[in-house]
Amino acid sequence: MQSLPLISVAALDSPDPQARAKVAAELGRACREVGFFYVVDHGIPADRIQQAFADAKALFALPLQDKQKMSIKLSPHNRGYVAMADEKLNPSAGADMKEAFNIGTDFPSDHPDVLAGKPFRGVNFWPELQGWRERALDYFESCLNLGRLLHRGFSLDLGLAENHFDRHLHKPIATLRMLHYPASTGETAREDAGAGAHTDYGNITLLATDEVAGLQVLTRQGEWIEAPYVPGAYVCNIGDCLMRWSNDTYISTPHRVRAPERERYSIAFFLEVEPDSLVDPRDVVPGEAPKYPPITCAEYLASRLNATYEHRNG
């Protein structure tokens, strides 16, 4: 059975250009062939990841009325608490049996972009838990730095300047999403009950999982395969925006979360680029006829999110 490639990315930070190019080629192969891979030797300490999971559990253990005060329905910027069954990633399959909490790039309430009402430039909601905000932002920044490093590998693989994406990743649209899936029951035991089959919307996703199985990936041969827990690894996948930007050179792959046999937690980091960045295939693969018209990242992401939440569908 096919399995996802495991890639050590430590050498992307090496002063040796050949070592960086070798890792970039491995990344490019995975991005073209399956769109999913494991990332190891990423430099994020294990205790920082473990603390993020502890903080997620503390958040979801809060009373529902406290979580609803931070509801994503109160934010036009995709921030806050998503209640159980509020999302339908695959509308034809019914509601997703999970709850979630989204944190975006952090801005103060008086930031010019916030005051101007720019899309995805809002303030975050924070639970009243001691030290929670500071730890969450520290973990957010760790994931963002890893995402920036991976984009340098993508640039090398695509034949671009190594820093090609840097200007798009200064204050990007990025979402740290904590997820909680209850144990399945007879009614919720369908294969995609945790999260319906979907592709991700942005550039890349970095996913940390606990040891409870659930994530499944659709191969090019149409077979659903498990993405098992690998200690210390992130599961990384290409999103629709980077697929579009690369003119379909890189592949965004459908995946789902089956109903877990026991309670499951995961933490996803969705990395897009700056809201005003123009996603134009001619910028990444200039020698090819573009398959997609240019669009800003904010416009593209909004078009995809609007269909996800029931309250936005009426």
List, in order, residues 6 or more apart from 148 with CB less than 8 Å away: 165, 166, 169
If you compute the radius of gyration of the chain from its CA atoms, what whole number of angstroms results? 19
Structure confidence by residue, pLDDT tens digits, 181-232: 888 765 544 444 556 778 999 999 999 998 887 789 998 888 898 898 999 9
Structure confidence by residue, pLDDT tens digits, 5-46: 999 999 999 999 999 999 999 999 999 999 999 999 999 999
Question: What DSSP letter does each residue of 239-271 carry, written as one string?
Answer: -HHHHHHTTTSS----EEEPPPSS-EEEEEEEE
Structure confidence by residue, pLDDT tens digits, 115-174: 998 888 989 999 999 999 999 999 999 999 999 999 999 999 999 999 999 999 999 999
In the chain, DSSP assigns E strands to: 6-8, 36-40, 80-82, 99-104, 174-181, 195-198, 204-209, 215-218, 224-226, 234-238, 255-257, 264-271, 278-279, 295-296
CA angle, 211 as apex, 63 and 230 as ends, to 5°? 135
Model confidence, pTM:
0.90
Does the pLDDT value for residue 262 go beyond 90? no
Q: What is the reported pLDDT for 15?
A: 96
Phi, psi of 80 (to 5 degrees): 115, -165
Token pair 């144990």: residue: 183
Q: What is the reported pLDDT for 38?
A: 97
For residue 305, name the pLDDT band (cuts at 50, 70, 90): confident
